[in-house]
Amino acid sequence: INVIVFLLTVQSSKSFLRSARPRHNSLKVVGSVVFPVKVYVKLNHSSPRILCVTNHLRNLELIDPTFQWNGPGGGLSSENSSVQISPTGTLILRHFNLSGVYTCSIVYKLTAMQLDRNLVIKYLIYAYSDPKNYYEFTARYHAAPCNSSHNTSFEKTLLKMLRKLVAELSYEVTLIKSECHHVKMQRGGIQNEIFFTFSVASLDREKQNRQCQQSACDASHRLNKAKHLIERFFKQQVESRRKSSEPLPEIYYIEGTLQRVWVDRCYPGYGMNALIHPNCPECCVVCSPGSYNPSNGTHCLRCDSSLIYGATKC
C-alpha cells in the first residue's frame, strides 16, 4: 500500500486561503516494501515520526533489531542536530530542507534460532511551503493628457497612500504597471484614462517576523483586512466626490472600475501538482528531479537535465 502523509491543514474560504498546522507528535508514518511512501514536511519544520517498520512488522516481536537510516547525503545519525533516531529506529528530521529518497535498513530475527532477516524500507520525503497568496487589483482613473507630468506625480501619491494603508498589516503594495490610454466614450468624445495594476502581498518572511505580532500575523486575517482597506479607500473617493460641490478634478477615480483577482504563487524551486501530489494538491511542493521552477510560478516545468530537488534553472 502506498501510504501518503498529508501535513497541511487547509482552511477554505472564498479566496481559498491555506495555512499549515502539522501536529507532529500525533503523526506516525509506517513504511512499505511495495512502493516508496510519500511524506510531506513543511520547509524548515520537523517531520512526523517516520517508523522503520511496515504494518506487518509492527504486529510482530522482533529480536535483536538494528536500524540504519540513509538520506540523500548518506548515512544519518543522531549526532547531527537536525536528525533524531530513537532506539526503535524512529526517525524525526528537524529544520527539514533536504528532499529526496530516505531508506531504512532493518536487520532482525523472529526467533532466537533463526538467521538474520534484512528489510529495506524506502521513503520519498518532500519539502513543501505554503503558497504565496496575494491580490492583484486594477483600477482606472480619468487622467490628464498622457504625456503630462501630472499623471506621474499623481501615481506616486496614490501608491504612497495605498502603501500607508496596509503597512501596519505587514503587507505591501507594488505597482505592476501603469498605462495611459485614449478611450472613446459611448456616444461621446475621447478622454484620457490611466489603467493601474498593483498587487497587495505580504512582506517577505524576514521583514514580516520583525514587524507583525503573534495572532495579528495570521495570513487570512491580514490579507482580508488589507483587501477591505483598499476597497474602502476607492469607495470613499466616490462618496466624497458625490458630496462635494466642487467641479471634478483633472485626475479622479472612475467609479466601478476597481477589480481584483486572487493569485497563487510558489517560491522558485517549488510548484503545485495535484496529479503527482494528490494528497497535497494546494501545497507548493519541491520540484523533483526532471523539473524546475525558475520564478514565482505555480508549476514545476519539465527539464530532463535537472538532477536535483528544488531546481531553479534547467
CB 50 within 8 A of CB 29: yes
- CB count within 10 Å of CB 73 equals 9
State pTM to two decimals. Answer: 0.68
Question: pLDDT band at residue 10, thresholds of 50, 70 and 90?
Answer: very low
Does 240 map to a domain?
yes
Does 231 map to a domain?
yes
Residues 143 and 248 occupy one common structural domain: yes
Question: pLDDT band at residue 282, thresholds of 50, 70 and 90?
Answer: confident
Does 296 map to a domain?
yes
Residues 199 and 247 occupy one common structural domain: yes
Does 18 map to a domain?
no
Q: 296 is written with which cell numbers?
A: 514565482
Identify the three-state secondary structure at position 195: strand
Does 9 map to a domain?
no
Residues 150 and 255 occupy one common structural domain: yes
pLDDT exceeds cutoff 70 at 22: no
Does 22 map to a domain?
no
Which domain does 290 fall in, by range? 266-313
Question: pLDDT band at residue 217, thresholds of 50, 70 and 90?
Answer: low
Residues 34 and 104 occupy one common structural domain: yes
Residues 255 and 281 occupy one common structural domain: no
| Averaged pLDDT for residues 35-49 | 93
At 19 the pLDDT is: 31
Question: pLDDT band at residue 187, thresholds of 50, 70 and 90?
Answer: confident
Residues 117 and 181 occupy one common structural domain: no
Residues 102 and 136 occupy one common structural domain: no
Residues 61 and 162 occupy one common structural domain: no
| Averaged pLDDT for residues 134-148 | 93
Q: Is 149 left (phi over 0), alpha (psi -120 to 50) or beta?
A: alpha
At 284 the pLDDT is: 94
Q: What angle do CA 224, 229, 233 make, to 5 degrees?
A: 150
**Domain CATH number, residue 69:** 2.60.40.10
Question: Which residues does 120 contact at the CB level (< 8 Å), separation at least 6?
Answer: 33, 103, 104, 105
pLDDT exceeds cutoff 90 at 197: yes
At 215 the pLDDT is: 47
At 223 the pLDDT is: 87
Residues 43 and 72 occupy one common structural domain: yes
CA 121 from centre of chain: 30
Domain boundary among 107, 129, 151: 129
Does 169 map to a domain?
yes
Mean confidence (pLDDT) of the chain: 84
Residues 116 and 140 occupy one common structural domain: no
Residues 91 and 136 occupy one common structural domain: no
Place of cell 528537524: 94
At 264 the pLDDT is: 84
What is the distance between the terminal CA atoms of the chain, rounded to a whole angstrom? Answer: 34
Domain boundary among 74, 109, 129: 129
Does 198 map to a domain?
yes
Residues 136 and 56 occupy one common structural domain: no
**Domain CATH number, residue 258:** 3.30.70.360
**Number of domains composing the chain:** 3
- CB count within 10 Å of CB 32 equals 16
Domain boundary among 129, 156, 174: 129
| Averaged pLDDT for residues 231-256 | 90
